[in-house]
Amino acid sequence: MIEEQARQTDSAVNVPVHVPVQVSPPSHAFTEKKRVLVVEDDFLIRLNTMDMLEELGHDIAEAASAEEALALLETQTFDVLLTDMGLPRMSGTELACTVRERLPDLGLIFATGHHDLPDVPGRLRPVLLQKPFDMNDIRRAIEQALGR
C-alpha cells in the first residue's frame, strides 16, 4: 500500500495535523510482475494484448508465430505462455504441447474464440481466455494459469 499524508487543520489552534491516508493499488494491478510471452499472428490483437499486460505491470515478449515463440523460449525464461490457438503452420495447441514437454510448469493461456480447451501435458491446467477479452479477464487468466 502506498501511504500518503493528508493535511488537515485543527480549527481551535490552527495547527496542521497529518493524517495518514491509505491508497489502494488499481483494481487491475497484479501483485507480482510476471514474464509473459504473447504469441498471436494478428498484429492488432497482439498489440492490444501486450498493452493490457504492460498496464498490469508484466514484462512481455511477443511472437507472431509458433516458430518465433520456440526460438524465444530457447534463449529466455517465461512464467506464462499466452497463445492464440489458430496460428499458421504450427497451431497454438501444437506449440503448447511442444513447450510443455520441456517446461511442464509453464503457465499456459489459450486466447481464442473457441469454447474448448485442448488436452496439454503439464502440472498446471491450461486456461481458456475467450476473445474478445479485457484487462480483468487477462489478470484472472494469469492467476489461474499459475495455479492461484
Domains and CATH numbers, the chain: 35-145 (3.40.50.2300)
The pLDDT tens digits for 28-38 are 454 589 999 99
pTM of the model: 0.78
The pLDDT tens digits for 102-135 are 999 999 999 998 888 888 887 788 999 999 999 9
SS (H, E, C) the chain: CEEEEEEEEECCCCEEEEEEEEECCCCCCCCCCCEEEEECCCHHHHHHHHHHHHHCCCEEEEECCHHHHHHHHHHCCCCEEEEECCCCCCCHHHHHHHHHHHCCCCEEEEEECCCCCCCCCCCCCCEEEECCCCHHHHHHHHHHHCCC
